[in-house]
Amino acid sequence: RVREFIMKDAYTFDIDEAGLDVQYQKMYEAYCSIFDRLHLNYKIVKADTGAMGGLLSEEYQAISNIGEDIVVGCENCDFSSNLEITEVVDTLEEDQSPMLEIELKETPNAKTIEEVAAFFGKEPKDFVKTLLYEADGKIVAFCIPGNRELNETKAQKILKANSMEMANFEDVEKATGAKVGFAGPVGLDVPVYLDRQVLKMKNFIVGANKTDHHLINVNVKDFEPVEVADLTQVMEGDICPNCHQKLVFHRGIEVGNLFKLGTKYSKTMNLMYTDENNVLKPVWMGSYGIGLERCMAAVVEQHHDEHGIIWPKEIAPFKLAIVPVSLKDNEQVGAMESLYSYCQENKFDVLLDDRNERPGVKFKDMELIGIPYRITIGKGIKSGLVEWVDRATKQKEEISLEDAKTRIQQLYQ
> Which residues contribute to the site for Zn ion (CB under 5 A)?
74, 76-77, 79, 240, 242-243, 245
Tell the smallest beta-carbon distance from residue 45 to Zn ion (Å). 14
Tell the smallest beta-carbon distance from residue 337 to Zn ion (Å). 60
Tell the smallest beta-carbon distance from residue 247 to Zn ion (Å). 8
Which lies closer to Zn ion via its Cβ, residue 54 or residue 241?
241
Which lies closer to Zn ion via its Cβ, residue 70 or residue 386?
70
Which lies closer to Zn ion via its Cβ, residue 76 or residue 219?
76
Dist. CA 150–CA 152, nearest whole Å? 6
Dist. CA 371–CA 319, nearest whole Å? 6
Tell the smallest beta-carbon distance from residue 237 to Zn ion (Å). 13
Contact residues for 343 (Cβ-Cβ < 8 A; gap 6+): 320, 322, 349, 350, 408
Tell the smallest beta-carbon distance from residue 76 to Zn ion (Å). 5
Tell the smallest beta-carbon distance from residue 230 to Zn ion (Å). 18
Dist. CA 88–CA 197, nearest whole Å? 9
Tell the smallest beta-carbon distance from residue 63 to Zn ion (Å). 17
Which lies closer to Zn ion via its Cβ, residue 81 or residue 287?
81
Which lies closer to Zn ion via its Cβ, residue 62 or residue 247?
247
Tell the smallest beta-carbon distance from residue 72 to Zn ion (Å). 10
Which lies closer to Zn ion via its Cβ, residue 89 or residue 229?
89
Which lies closer to Zn ion via its Cβ, residue 55 or residue 89?
89
Which lies closer to Zn ion via its Cβ, residue 72 or residue 290?
72
Tell the smallest beta-carbon distance from residue 84 to Zn ion (Å). 19
Which lies closer to Zn ion via its Cβ, residue 91 or residue 112?
91
Dist. CA 350–CA 337, nearest whole Å? 12
Instruction: Spell out the SS3 assignment of the chain.
Output: CCCCCCEEEEEEEECCHHHHHHHHHHHHHHHHHHHHHCCCCEEEEECCCHHHCCCEEEEEEEECCCCCEEEEEECCCCCEEECCCCCCCCCCCCCCCCCCCCEEEECCCCCCHHHHHHHHCCCHHHEEEEEEEEECCEEEEEEEECCCCECHHHHHHHHCCCCEEECCHHHHHHHHCCCCCCCCCCCCCCCEEEEHHHHHCCCEEEECCCCCEEEEEECHHHCCCCEEECCECCCCCCECCCCCCEEEEEEEEEEEEEEEEECHHHHHCCCEEECCCCCEEECEEEEEEEEHHHHHHHHHHHCEECCEECCCCCCCCCCEEEEECCCCCHHHHHHHHHHHHHHHHCCCCCEECCCCCCHHHHHHHHHHHCCCEEEEECHHHHHCEEEEEECCCCCEEEEEHHHHHHHHHHHHC
Which lies closer to Zn ion via its Cβ, residue 57 or residue 86?
86
Residue type for 266, please?
Answer: S
Tell the smallest beta-carbon distance from residue 69 to Zn ion (Å). 20
